[in-house]
Structure 1
Amino acid sequence: MKTEVIAFDVHNTLARFAPERVSSIEVQDLLARFGVETSYQSLEAARQYVFFFDTPKREIHGYVDFLALQFDHMGLRVNLDVIESIAAMYDRRDSMVLFDDALTAIEMAKAKDLRVVAFTTLPKFMLGRAADELLPKLDAYFDASATGYAKGDPRFYASITQSLAVPPHAIRCIGDNLTGDCLLPQRAGWQPTWLNRRDAQPSNTFPTVHSLTDFAATF
């Protein structure tokens, strides 16, 4: 089966969040200083709601946009200046960092005349500073707003296949999540590889590598 496309997951595959990223309890405490009471659990639940129900409907344009949706779903009345302050905190601390092997693997794929795409839950703006290095190297960035479906929905993968105009088996993908990056893509007809960076219990179901350069060596 001829491979035409390499699809990379983003979070914990191409890039990771910095250790100093903002926590929900920090947001809870900051809101409390302005008289808005809530729980970190509610914040986390509403954050997931935005990812899986709002982002398929439209592109989210930065943390102000994202937080406004998040707080609205929680029924919180938060002044715009407070939202902007929290958004600035995310912008400072939640920028993603590319793994050392990310760009090398992409370049190795390009050298084989393969198209390179990302498939991810994360809106582009959440890449932060990593976007400047990563996005120019990609032929496409498929998130929920690009496909109309959240990652994990079978239609997410089918939409990507349709957009790429290739047979499903022509797409090789890699990611760190056995379900969203391997099992569901396999059901969609893709050829998955599991990225096991943390030396977790080996999988007997999917081909496994421990780095992106190991994966790229198989192109």
Structure 2
Amino acid sequence: MSSHDQTPTRPERFEDTTLPPIPDVGLLESDIASVQLSQHRTKLSTHRTGLSEHRTDLSEYRTDLSTNRTEMSMRRTGMSFQRTRMSADRTLMSVIRTALSLIGFGFTIFQVFSKARDAGILNIGTAAPSNFGMALVMLGVLLLLVGIVYHINFMRTIRAQREAMVQHGLVHGESAYPVSYTLLTACALLLIGLYAIVTMVFDVARG
């Protein structure tokens, strides 16, 4: 544990707040009066020194508190980058769900109408239903591609900003950015969507 992680100890209250009494030298000889006044000034000086040391202790205590607050602020700012990264992953998850729905529905529609037409169950003279299914798949792939490109550009910007702030000592860079499994899933789904498009194109060509 570093020194910044420890709670600073508040200095004890300064108890000696009573000023030394002023000596009565009205009826004393000048030499004795001078000595007593000199002793009184010494006591006042000692009292001021005690107050000054106490103020110094309080100042150091406030400095330690300020340093701790700055440390906590830097850590909160560093964690905010992690929260931003997780928020970007959640946004990409929404894109994946939408793209998966489009690709799944489109491929299903394409296969159902193609197989029904080949089996003679439906007498469809045009390929409009199959084309509609293919269009849904292409739309899902396009949406997923745009989401991946946006996610990568956004994360590169956040990472560069974080590294710049770490170099200037504004935030802590102790926690590294983990691998985005959401991005890997999106790339895998993109390959599946492209494979589905290729399969449908070859199916149409054979038909």
Q: Name the TM-score, length of structure 2 as normaliser.
A: 0.25
> Which entry has the higher C-alpha Rg, 1 or 2?
2
Q: Which has the higher strand share?
A: 1
Q: Which has the higher helix share?
A: 2
